[in-house]
Homo-oligomer: A and B are copies of this chain.
Amino acid sequence: MKIICPKSVLAKGVNIVLKAVPSKTTMPILECILIDASNGKIKLTANDMELGIETEIEGEIIHDGIVALNAKIFSEIVRKLPDSDVIIDTEDGVQTIITCEKAKFNIAFQSGEDFSYLPDVEKDDHITISEFMLKEVIRQTIFSIADNDTNRMMTGELFQIEDNILKVVSLDGHRISIRKIELKESYEPKKVIVPGKTLVEISKIVGGEAEKNVDISFTKNHIMFEFDKTIVVSRLIEGEYFKIDQMLSSDYETKVRINKKELLDCIDRATLMIKEGDKKPIIINIGDEAMQLKIKSQIGSMNEDISIDKEGKDLLIGFNPKFLIDALRVIDDEEVDLYFMNAKAPCFIKDESQSYIYLILPVNFNAASV
**Which A residues contact B (CB, under 8 angstroms)?**
73, 76-77, 80-82, 95, 102-108, 265-266, 268-269, 272-273, 299-306
Contact = CB atoms under 8 A, between A and B. Distances in A.
Contacts of A305: 102
B304 A77 contact: no
Given A80-B272, A272-B73, A272-B76, A107 B299 contact: yes
Q: Which of A76, A95, A107, A299 has the most CB of B within 10 A?
A: A299
A350 B84 CA distance: 31
A300 B108 contact: yes
A302 B80 contact: no
Contacts of A303: 104
Contacts of A77: 269, 272
A301 B80 CA distance: 15
A73 B105 contact: no
A23 B294 CA distance: 29
B302 A104 contact: yes
Given A80-B272, A102-B306, 16 more contacts: A73-B300, A76-B272, A77-B269, A77-B272, A80-B265, A80-B269, A82-B265, A95-B300, A103-B269, A103-B302, A103-B304, A104-B304, A105-B273, A105-B300, A106-B301, A106-B302
Nearest to A270: B103
A266 to B, nearest CB: 7
17 contacts: A73-B299, A73-B300, A77-B272, A80-B265, A80-B268, A80-B272, A82-B265, A102-B306, A103-B269, A103-B304, A105-B269, A105-B272, A106-B301, A106-B302, A107-B299, A107-B300, A108-B300
A103 B266 contact: yes
Contacts of A304: 102-104
A80 B272 CA distance: 9
Given A269-B81, A272-B76, A272-B80, A301 B105 contact: yes
A268 B80 CA distance: 8
Contacts of A108: 300
A269 B81 CA distance: 7
Contacts of A76: 272
